[in-house]
Amino acid sequence: MYLDANIPEGPLEEKWINYRSKMNLVAPNNKRRINIIVVGSGLAGASAAATLGELGYNVKCFTFHDSARRAHSIAAQGGINAAKNYQNDGDSVYRLFYDTIKGGDYRSREANVYRLAEVSTEIIDQCVAQGVPFAREYGGLLANRSFGGVQVSRTFYARGQTGQQLLLGAYQALARQTSLGTVQMYPRHEMLDLVVIDGKARGIIARNLLTGALERHAAHCVVMATGGYGNVYYLSTNAMGCNVTAAWRAVKRGALMANPCYVQIHPTCIPVSGDYQSKLTLMSESLRNDGRVWVPKKKEDVEAIRNGQLKPTQLSEEDRDYFLERRYPAFGNLVPRDVASRASKAMCDEGHGVNISGLAVYLDFADAIKRYGQSEAGSRGISSPDEDTIMRLGEGVIEKRYGNLFEMYEKITGEDPYKTPMKIYPAIHYTMGGLWVDYNLETNIPGLFALGECNFSDHGANRLGASALMQGLADGYFIIPYTIGQFLSGEIRTPAIDPDLSEFKEAERDTRTRLERLMNVNGSQSVESFHRRLGLTMWDFCGMSRSAEGLTNAKEVVRSLRDEFWNDVYVPGKSDQFNPELEKAARVADFMELGEMMIEDAKHREESCGGHFREEYQTGEGEALRNDDDFAYVAAWQWLDGKDSILHKEALHFDNVELKTRSYK
């Protein structure tokens, strides 16, 4: 299959502007007759549905949540990037573009990334106008902070609740369109199949989660904004409900999945505390602005700390290894996530981990508290302040910046991070891979679009912090409203699609059969237990570090686990009623297939890049070793039931940046 990314001609800086001004439009009177289904109401889905509604299309928006406001985007903490250069520190659209390409380890498309950087500035304006209470300086202007992998300060934030505030902005825009009647909301509805007619996406099968009834919904096109698949690992920072089902159903209908093995492991999460653990909690990357990451140098200190004879605060400076600052002096604690995660893992593998399981490093704020305390004392005119005053003032500054994160940490661990360093460890956080889309955000199935985390488009092999919110909103507010016209302008004569067409009935029947099959296994093991086992296998063999041998083995394990699942899973209740266990079962069934494809992708990519680290391909110093000659392409996979997936390649061309070995030293 030839994959045409449909990248417009012309110089990088002019592609989007020129393309946008020459695009096909749909006249207002025609828009009213065109129906669009948006699946998902997170940042990407809500912003898209609201904007498409504003434009005059008839929009139906689906979410499995009880309200659009509960989408997983709500949990994003740290911030959103934009090339505003308000700090006058040398930022620009080009620099944001360059940082993103480099951060993604040269595995993303130049044209898409440039456009993302370009529209980033409009996002901030839009959100401010919607009433998003971004943090402000004393003079009343917007404040910024820094995130990993960059040397400018371009991240906008609303305390540690940026995702919440941005989502509420989009949710309110959506609520406004709902009240105006342009958007019809379908909460507690889960998409369980995609309907393709004559090669075009024309609708979905959705399950009403309250009644269990299957519904057929038809439209001229379908936009999916259904989030990432990090929960294939069971334990991740994602919300419990995050899943791949919508995207996977599209894959089963012929959509391609691009770079599924690119997953992001976030360095700063609260470590696992026991085998009952249901999810992992992120401590925002913004903490690395002020927190220093370290482990004890000496093994005897590690021992003493683990068995409680020594406190980390008692360890002298010489006995601490600030390993990120040591290994990466230029970026220090703010190296990109993949680099920080691997470095932490390496320290733990060498036996320096600071909790009982040996899988934790420190994130320490003592220096920052002191530094801020001193400067705060200075600005309040307190001369020669005592230690307590400094600490108190410094803690105040830290509280203002990260208060809710510190509180969250304390609630979970029972330890006070103002007084003792946090313990952190890497965890699965984000999926760069996703549905393959072209420059229009259209998948290889005409009329099927994918936005936000569920597509693969902008982050290459590693995403920089604060860029997912940016991408979700760029896709939804500023890109899809234009690019969808490229498809819909050809559909103005297409009458409303009939949901009684045979394709709809077949898809509904397939879905019913699948659900009944799950119900009828009537085995002895819970869905949860299968999910945990799948997750462990994926984490051990397709997680932070991968090898050909491990992956080969894992593929067999996942296949047999899948067989076992279909022979021995037990789903209580009935399919025609509210049944959360059945919802989970259908999702886990899809994860089982996705897992295999991820393993396949990880195995075929014989290089290390970004979040994908193959043990066989590393430098003498343990850094990722890319292979641009053989692997500078997007790997787009086609699923075939019962067979190996087929690989299609989209070559990546770098005309504006030079391919270099990423260095943060």
Partner 1 sequence: MHMKLTLKIWRQEDKDSKGKFESYEVKINEHMSFLEMLDVLNQELIELKKDPVAFEHDCREGICGACGLVINGRPHGPLQGTTTCQLHMRHFKDGQTVWIEPYRAKAFPVIKDLVVDRSSFDRIVQAGGFISVGTGQAPDGNTIPIESDVVEKSMDAAACIGCGSCVAACPNGAAMLFTAAKVSHLGLLPQGKIEHHGRVATMVRQMDKEGFGNCSNIYACEAECPKEISVDTIAYLNRSYFGSTFMSDLSP
Ligand X SMILES: Cc1cc2nc3c(=O)[nH]c(=O)nc-3n(C[C@H](O)[C@H](O)[C@H](O)COP(=O)(O)OP(=O)(O)OC[C@H]3O[C@@H](n4cnc5c(N)ncnc54)[C@H](O)[C@@H]3O)c2cc1C
Considering the rule CB under 8 A, would residue 572 count as an interface residue with partner 1?
yes
CA gyration radius, the chain: 25
**If residue 564 lies in a helix (H) or strand (E), which one and from where to where?**
helix 548-568
Strand partners, 624: 618
Q: How many residues bind ligand X (CB under 6 A)?
A: 45
Q: What is the footprint of ligand X within residues 5-44 (CB under 6 A)?
A: 39-44
Coil, helix or strand at residue 617: coil
Among 124, 127, 183, 282, which residue sits at the site for ligand X (rule: CB under 6 A)? Answer: 282
> Is 216 buried (19+), middle (13-18) or exposed (0-12) by CB count in 10 A?
buried
Among 1, 17, 25, 210, which residue sits at the site for partner 1 (rule: CB under 8 A)? Answer: 210
Spatial distance between the Cα atoms of 178 and 487, rounded to a whole number of angstroms: 25
Task: Give the binding range for partner 1 (CB under 8 A) out of 228-236, 268-276, 290-298, 633-641.
Answer: 268-276
Q: What is the footprint of partner 1 within residues 23-62 (CB under 8 A)?
A: 47, 50-51, 54
Shortest reach from residue 5's CB to partner 1, in Å:
25
Considering the rule CB under 8 A, would residue 409 count as an interface residue with partner 1?
no
Q: What is the footprint of ligand X within residues 180-199 (CB under 6 A)?
A: 190-191
Considering the rule CB under 8 A, would residue 345 count as an interface residue with partner 1?
no
Shortest reach from residue 292's CB to partner 1, in Å:
24
**Order of strands across the sheet with 58-62?**
183-186, 58-62, 35-39, 221-224, 448-450
Among 108, 144, 164, 237, which residue sits at the site for ligand X (rule: CB under 6 A)? Answer: 237
Spatial distance between the Cα atoms of 266 and 237, rounded to a whole number of angstroms: 9
**Of 463, 443, 418, nearest to 609 (Cα)?**
463
Shortest reach from residue 151's CB to partner 1, in Å:
22
Considering the rule CB under 6 A, would residue 246 count as an interface residue with ligand X?
yes
Residue 493 annotated as catalytic: no
**Of 623, 453, 460, 428, nearest to 539 (Cα)?**
428
Spatial distance between the Cα atoms of 43 and 47, rounded to a whole number of angstroms: 6
Task: Give the binding range for partner 1 (CB under 8 A) out of 96-104, 288-296, 525-533, 634-642.
Answer: 525-533
Supply φ then ψ for residue 265, to 5 degrees: -110, 120
Considering the rule CB under 8 A, would residue 239 count as an interface residue with partner 1?
yes
Q: Which is nearer to ligand X, 165 or 608 (CB)?
A: 165
Considering the rule CB under 6 A, would residue 233 count as an interface residue with ligand X?
no
Shortest reach from residue 223's CB to partner 1, in Å:
15
Q: What is the footprint of ligand X within residues 211-230 (CB under 6 A)?
A: 225-228
Considering the rule CB under 6 A, would residue 340 count as an interface residue with ligand X?
no
What residues contact residue 621 under an 8 Å CB cut-off, 6+ apart?
none
Considering the rule CB under 6 A, would residue 45 count as an interface residue with ligand X?
yes
Catalytic residue among 107, 159, 327, 337: 337
Shortest reach from residue 634's CB to partner 1, in Å:
29
Considering the rule CB under 6 A, would residue 452 count as an interface residue with ligand X?
yes
Shortest reach from residue 168's CB to partner 1, in Å:
7
Coil, helix or strand at residue 1: coil
**Of 64, 36, 489, 69, nearest to 223 (Cα)?**
36
Q: Which is nearer to ligand X, 160 or 595 (CB)?
A: 160
**If residue 208 lies in a helix (H) or strand (E), which one and from where to where?**
strand 200-208
Among 80, 255, 497, 635, which residue sits at the site for ligand X (rule: CB under 6 A)? Answer: 80
Q: Which is nearer to ligand X, 71 or 571 (CB)?
A: 71
Task: Give the binding range for ligand X (CB under 6 A) out of 347-355, 381-389, 448-456, 570-578.
Answer: 448-456
Considering the rule CB under 8 A, would residue 520 count as an interface residue with partner 1?
no
Q: What is the footprint of partner 1 within residues 121-180 (CB under 8 A)?
A: 122, 124-131, 133-142, 158-159, 161, 163-165, 168, 171-173, 175-176, 178-179
What residues contact residue 520 under an 8 Å CB cut-off, 6+ apart?
none
Quick one: angle between helices 110-130 and 93-103, nearest 10? Answer: 120
Shortest reach from residue 413's CB to partner 1, in Å:
9
Among 240, 330, 356, 646, which residue sits at the site for partner 1 (rule: CB under 8 A)? Answer: 240
Taking phi over 0 as left and psi of -120 to 50 as alpha, with beta for the rest, 35 belongs to: beta
What residues contact residue 24 under an 8 Å CB cut-off, 6+ apart?
485, 486, 489, 490
Coil, helix or strand at residue 54: helix
**Order of strands across the sheet with 422-431?**
263-269, 422-431, 361-364, 292-296, 320-321
Provide the annotated active-site residues.
337
Q: What are the residues binding ligand X (CB under 6 A)? A: 39-45, 62-65, 71-73, 75-80, 162-163, 190-191, 225-228, 237-238, 242, 245-246, 282, 284, 429-430, 452-454, 466-469, 472
